[in-house]
């Protein structure tokens, strides 16, 4: 009681998934690496030394797994060629085992809930145990969250969700939806560059930039904090608070408290979503010569925010890898980051035998 049926179901599934994958090396691949694997699969003779062959062998040996995120799914759907999409999804199915990282919104809620429970010395599963699911439920979460399960038993709810969870990737999204947001998402680079120039004198140090980014994100997340606190109260008391879930439950106050904790550097590796995003966005803004160009910066940051706290390896593009290393985010979250294909191949080869 206290959380939507879809959350209860996904938490239970995540704990089961975690038990199966906790001893594996978990690798997050950005879109460029997935496309590389697709291109390798299209060659007549990839050879034993191809990246796809190595990754496939490590999955078969039950040493590695390559879960994806909803962001990767949306990016793959941007491919206009249906055959290319299908081939990419076939590889994703094979290497991910159908396992996906839950959305950033739900990770924010979990990370916040874990932090609050830690402050109260309450037992609560670490977020890394609760952030896993099957992709059909991850990308259709909003629909199931809004669905009225009140007339059905929990067993019936689970049957419906079990069926949905096993939908193949290639059957998941009708073609009619492929032109809609978020499948067509791009940053407004003109606005990004204009705002960067407009506010470049506002923050003189990196820490000021960082806190500016954190403050903006926390302000937006305060409604999620309210939801979490409402669910927590309902779970612990069995009763809905007077006024119902539409009232405030201290979301803005918690946002202010978290801001001060970041300012005083008292959070450690808690609330990684805000730390990672703010660090990387601040690095973008701090580099006055950097221009927003391709409209994919937000997606790149989302990849990092999902990969670093929950994966052992993150293979991504050079600039993002460099920023992560400079900011020490790889060390903070104990995640090895690589961008060069040769480095990736060397990492994989070490585990082959």
DSSP string, 93-136: HHHHTTEEEPPHHHHHHHHHHHHHHHHTT-----GGGTSEEEHH
Mean of pLDDT over the chain:
85
Q: Which of 95, 103, 82, 97 shows the shortest CA–CA distance to 36?
A: 95
Round to whole Å and give the CA distance between 277 and 160.
35
Q: What is the pLDDT of residues 143-194, one digit of tens each?
A: 777 776 666 677 777 787 878 778 777 676 654 444 445 555 665 556 555 5
Q: Which residues pair with 100 in a beta bridge?
A: 68, 133
Query: How many whole angstroms separate alpha carbon 83 and alpha carbon 96?
Result: 20
Q: Which two tokens stand for residue 305?
A: 């925010």
| CA–CA gap between residue 273 and residue 343 (Å, rounded) | 27
Instruction: Encode pLDDT of 81-91 as tens digits.
Output: 888 888 999 99
Question: Which carries the bigger pLDDT value, residue 137 or residue 274?
Answer: 274
Mean pLDDT in residue range 47-65: 89
At residue 168, the pLDDT reads 75
Per-residue pLDDT reduced to its tens digit, 275-328: 999 999 899 887 666 665 565 678 889 999 999 999 999 999 999 999 999 999
The neighbouring-strand residues paired with 69 are: 101
pLDDT at residue 21 is higher than 70: yes
CA distance 162 to 167: 9
| Closest by Cα among 299, 280, 305 to 290 | 280
pLDDT value at position 244? 61
Task: Report the percent of the chain where pLDDT is more than 70.
Answer: 82
What is the structure's pLDDT at 173?
Answer: 61
In the predicted structure, residue 3 carries a pLDDT above the cut 80 = no
pLDDT at 141: 81
Q: What is the model's pTM? A: 0.89
Instruction: Give the pLDDT score at 57.
Output: 94
23-27: average pLDDT: 97
Q: Judge whether residue 72 has pLDDT over 60.
A: yes
* Predicted confidence (pLDDT) at residue 251 exceeds the cutoff of 70: yes
pLDDT the model gives residue 291? 60
Cβ neighbours, 10 Å, residue 76: 20
Q: Choose between 18 and 170: higher pLDDT.
A: 18
pLDDT score, position 176: 43
């Amino acid at each position: 009681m206290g959380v939507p049926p879809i959350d209860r179901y996904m938490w239970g599934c995540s704990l089961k998934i975690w038990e199966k994958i906790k001893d594996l090396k978990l690798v997050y691949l950005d879109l460029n690496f997935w496309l590389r694997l697709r291109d390798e699969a299209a060659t007549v003779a990839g050879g034993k030394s191809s990246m796809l062959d190595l990754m496939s062998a490590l999955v078969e040996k039950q040493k590695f797994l390559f879960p994806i995120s909803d962001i990767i799914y949306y990016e793959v759907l941007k491919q206009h060629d249906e055959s290319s999409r299908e081939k990419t999804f076939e590889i994703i199915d094979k290497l991910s085992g159908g396992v996906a990282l839950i959305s950033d919104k739900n990770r924010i809620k979990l990370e916040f809930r874990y932090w609050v429970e830690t402050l109260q010395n309450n037992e609560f599963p670490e977020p890394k145990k609760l952030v896993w699911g099957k992709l059909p439920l991850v990308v259709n979460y909003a629909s199931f969250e809004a669905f009225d399960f009140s007339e059905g038993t929990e067993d019936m709810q689970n049957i419906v969700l079990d069926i949905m969870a096993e939908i193949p990737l290639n059957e998941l999204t009708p073609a009619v939806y492929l032109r809609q947001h978020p499948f067509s998402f791009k940053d407004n680079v003109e606005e990004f560059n204009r705002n960067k120039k407009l506010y470049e004198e506002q923050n003189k140090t990196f820490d000021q930039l960082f806190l500016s980014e954190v403050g903006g994100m926390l302000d937006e997340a305060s409604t999620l904090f309210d939801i979490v606190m409402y669910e927590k109260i309902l779970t612990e008391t069995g009763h809905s608070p007077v006024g119902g879930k539409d009232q405030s439950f201290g979301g803005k106050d918690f946002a202010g408290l978290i801001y001060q904790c970041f300012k005083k550097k008292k959070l450690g590796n808690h609330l990684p979503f805000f730390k990672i995003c703010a660090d990387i966005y601040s690095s973008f803004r701090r580099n006055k010569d950097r221009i927003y160009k391709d409209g994919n910066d937000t997606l790149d940051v989302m990849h990092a925010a999902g990969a670093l706290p929950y994966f052992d390896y993150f293979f991504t593009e050079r600039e993002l890898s460099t920023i992560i290393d400079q900011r020490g985010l790889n060390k903070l979250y104990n995640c090895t980051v690589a961008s060069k294909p040769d480095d990736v191949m060397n990492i994989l080869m070490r585990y082959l035998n």
